[in-house]
Structure 1
Amino acid sequence: MDLLLPPGLTHRPLTLADAPAVLAAITAEEVADLGESSMTLDDVEADWLRPSYDIATSTVGVFDDDGLVAYADLSAPTVAYTAVLPDHQGRGIGTALAAWVQDRARAAGWARVGTQVPEGSAADRLMHHLGYELLWTAWDLELPPEHELVARPLPDSLTIEDACPEDFEAAWDLLEDAFLEWSERDRLPLDDFGARIWARPGYEPWNLRLVRDADGGLLGATHVHLSGGADGDTSAYVAKLAVRPDHRGRGLAPAMLVDAFSLARAHGATRSHLSTDTRAGARGLYERVGMVVASTWVNRSIRL
């Protein structure tokens, strides 16, 4: 499909070498909408390096001469990501990318496609104008740097420790089982799942923590990673946290969260974040640990 772009702009599929330019576009848009961005190059590359992902057929970049000004990425069934540099917004580029995304998603047999954007942003307003419906609301929460972390002990006989490679498949099972309780998507293949955790650039064993019972059974898992901000701060992001259904309500999740943030601070983190949404129903848990809402996002989708 050819993109209906303003005169002088060109487009092509992206390559891994374009990841820094894509990060720059995402960051510029988020800074304009939110005042800051938490995206990192590792986030972009980990997604693109999934074994099942084909960057050549899943992406398009829009260029002004040699400079990338916008992009679109069909990341997974029903999910696409886009960004347009703020000084190029209002020129019809976002509308052209939306048409490209819908055409590619329709050709792939998807019933709908959408994305998550900051509430009230230019992208949110455009998607609403184009007929994208609101599916759910999400929040980024931050643990204030001055907040004192108070250890939450686990119940007797339970332990928490770093994951070993032999644990990866069991952690995948537990985390995917938990997230698929409320997420309408297919189960991620083990290798794709691992590309975002243990194969993520910079992974260290403490990034994946596991709760076990006295017999070694896996009851919970937490994935936390670090990223360096443009201001020199190091941020911790809890990307995944889940407890086996038959052990919920025992205080495991707060203990796991405090463990993750404490370890991150010990490894240099000055800020701590995570994201949740209305489907998970976990916002209250995070606020009880001391976290506060830093930004609000909306997930919009359109039927094809």
Structure 2
Amino acid sequence: MDDVHLPDGLTHRPLAESDATAVYETIAAQERADIGTVEIEAADIVGEWARPGFDVAAQTVGVFDGDTMVGYAEFSAPDRSDVAVVPAARGRGIGTWLSAWVRDLARSRGATEVGAAVPEGSPGDRLLTELGYHVRWTSWVLKLPAGASITERPLPDGYVVREATSDELPAAHTVLEDAFLEWSRRERETFADFTAVVLERPGFEPWHLRVVLDPDGAVVAVAVVQMFFTDSAADTEAYISRLATRRDQRGRGLAQALMVDTFATARARGAVTCGLSTDSRTGALGLYEKVGMRATSTWVNRAIAL
């Protein structure tokens, strides 16, 4: 494996669904050290690993010091990876080994390039730079400050915004995928994977999926919100994980109206702050800043040719 070896005393093995909590704790420790906050939830890992198209044992690896996980990596086709090392174990070559493991697996699956998102300027960013990874795009996590609100923009006549009904779920998925695949480099997500990641994600409630309907009742805009709860009620956050408007319906303020509805609904259920993320491929950063959201962390997606 690129002639890279783990330090003496460490072991590695494929992971199982029962390792999801340990993976969450590994990623959370890294995020807390790198950006001062934790942006991931254990439910994110459980949902991702539950996708029918994902083989946990074949696409993940954990590095252990005794029984304690000190690093992990996973690869998702066609070219996405995630790597994390607990801060206390940095400087031992674990990240270098995990990156080599990812490249080997990606290469064996036919990938010609593989990348990972890391906080800009973090130890992970510096390591990938040293390994020859280049920046593909930049992304930002944005928050609407507590107490702030987005100016309402009335919907066009005949349009409504509300919780999606069960029969509207396939259409909502189609709107999301059509929009994201305009700029995203990946295969089309199956409805089964959408179900696992969104509808069956631990903690999901029907109101988390919001839609805008046109006068004919067609789904033309969609938002998926996740609620992040901590030990402090003051930190409860509503996070829009997906937001999209059908191409032929853009420019009518549907996304802004949907954000207002989503955040208001979430605040009525205990959210104090509201957030989302976007990247340089979408060109949407200015829109979110215009409605009062502010970037709290910057990430770069670095990749390398295989």
TM-score normalised by L of structure 2: 0.96
User: What are the within-5 Å matches in structure 2 for residues 109-258 of structure 1?
Assistant: 109-229=110-230, 231-232=232-233, 233-258=235-260
Instruction: Note if contact 2:220-2:249 (Cα within 8 Å) is conserved in structure 1.
Output: yes
More deviation in 256-265 or 146-155?
Answer: 146-155
The one-letter code of the counterpart of 1:269 is A
User: What are the within-5 Å matches in structure 2 for residues 2-151 of structure 1?
Assistant: 4-151=5-152
Give, in whole Å, the separation in 1 of the partners of 2:227 and 2:149: 19
TM superposition shift of 1:148: 3.1
Query: CA RMSD of the aligned region, Å?
Result: 1.3
TM-score normalised by L of structure 1: 0.97
Return 5+ residue gaps in structure 1 as ranges: none
TM superposition shift of 1:3: 6.7
Give, in whole Å, the separation in 1 of the partners of 2:156 and 2:230: 36
- The 3-state SS of whatever aligns with 2:21 is helix
Give, in whole Å, the separation in 1 of the partners of 2:184 and 2:256: 22
Instruction: Note if contact 1:71-1:84 (Cα within 8 Å) is conserved in structure 2.
Output: yes
Give, in whole Å, the separation in 2 of the partners of 1:101 and 1:176: 26
Give, in whole Å, the separation in 2 of the partners of 1:129 and 1:21: 28
More deviation in 155-164 or 115-124?
Answer: 155-164
- The 3-state SS of whatever aligns with 1:264 is helix
| Percent identity of equivalent pairs | 51
Instruction: Note if contact 1:38-1:229 (Cα within 8 Å) is conserved in structure 2.
Output: no
Aligned residues: 304
Deviation by residue 1:84-113 (Cα, 9 ceiling, x = unmatched): 000111110001001100000000001111
Instruction: Note if contact 1:223-1:239 (Cα within 8 Å) is conserved in structure 2.
Output: yes
Instruction: Note if contact 1:137-1:296 (Cα within 8 Å) is conserved in structure 2.
Output: yes
TM superposition shift of 1:76: 3.0
Question: Relative to structure 1, is the Cα distance of residues 234 and 215 closer, same or farther in structure 2, using a 3 angstrom cutoff?
Answer: same
Deviation by residue 1:200-250 (Cα, 9 ceiling, x = unmatched): 111111111111112111111111110113545211110111111111111
The one-letter code of the counterpart of 1:277 is D
Q: Which residue of 1 aligns with 2:271?
A: 269
More deviation in 1-10 or 187-196?
Answer: 1-10
The one-letter code of the counterpart of 2:91 is G
Q: 4+ runs of 1 displaced by more than 4 Å?
A: none
Instruction: Note if contact 1:3-1:11 (Cα within 8 Å) is conserved in structure 2.
Output: no
Instruction: Note if contact 1:69-1:88 (Cα within 8 Å) is conserved in structure 2.
Output: yes
Return 5+ residue gaps in structure 2 as ranges: none
Instruction: Note if contact 1:139-1:276 (Cα within 8 Å) is conserved in structure 2.
Output: yes
The one-letter code of the counterpart of 2:241 is A
- The 3-state SS of whatever aligns with 1:197 is helix
